[in-house]
Amino acid sequence: MDENLRRVLHDLVIGQLPWPFFLTGGPGRGKSAAVLCLADHVQGAVYFRFTRLLKAFEWSRLDRGVILRRWQRRSTDACDDRLVLRHQFFNETDFFNFLIGAPLLVIDDIGTRGGYTEPQYDQFYDIVEERKHQPLILVSNLPLKVLGDVFDERILSRLAVGTRFTLAGHDRRLNSTSGMAQFLAEKKASSSIEARATDEMDH
């Protein structure tokens, strides 16, 4: 992990820097891997990719139900001994309260797809607003100014009051002979704690 980023994360955890934390940088810089490393050490941390989060809200709003699975360590002494925690929600309010109550919430890949509906914007805004003094990490390939065009000034101003960091460097997946191995390792780390919203209640 980048040493400057490591120090920023440390200072956030001990309360010397303000939340939320906005992390940006080009693809392949190691942003997701870095925040997943932190989330893996926070009991009950929740990780979502932005598009998956919006889909989960849609399912909860349509009363289809949302089932979240999150891997969690059984003990600190057995890093690979994990169990699945299941959280089931039947309405949008319960799901929203779960996100607001998490000790750490990470939302990745913000603003990369565009074309958000008004209800989706409202949901994202409410999360940022409610967690403005709580541990919230927002990750994007886009700089903050560009995100202001994707969303609007209301969200931009709430992100700007926290801590910001731009992760520089090259795309490690493309510029390293072990790039594919690294990509698979990051994907595995992500899937170990990512909250997956599924519609298996319909099956």
Q: What is the 3-state secondary structure (H, E, C) of 84-152?
A: EEEEEECCHHHHHHHHHHCCCEEEECCCCCCCCCHHHHHHHHHHHHHCCCCCEEEEECCCHHHHHHHCC
Q: How would you write the pLDDT of the chain (203 residues) with one tens digit per residue?
A: 889 999 999 999 999 999 999 999 988 888 999 999 898 888 888 888 888 888 888 777 765 555 555 544 444 443 333 334 456 666 788 888 888 999 999 999 998 766 678 888 888 899 999 998 899 999 999 888 888 778 888 888 888 889 999 998 777 666 654 555 555 555 555 444 444 433 333 44
Taking each helix axis from N to C end, the angle separating 31-39 and 3-13, rounded to the nearest 10 degrees, works out to 30
Name the residue type at position 96: F
**Does residue 59 contact residue 197 with C-beta atoms inside 8 Å?**
yes
CB atoms within 10 A of CB 141: 16
pTM summary value: 0.74
What φ, ψ does residue 4 adopt, rounded to 5°? -65, -40
Structural domains of the chain sorted by starting position, each given as residue range(s) with its CATH number in brackets:
19-202 (3.40.50.300)
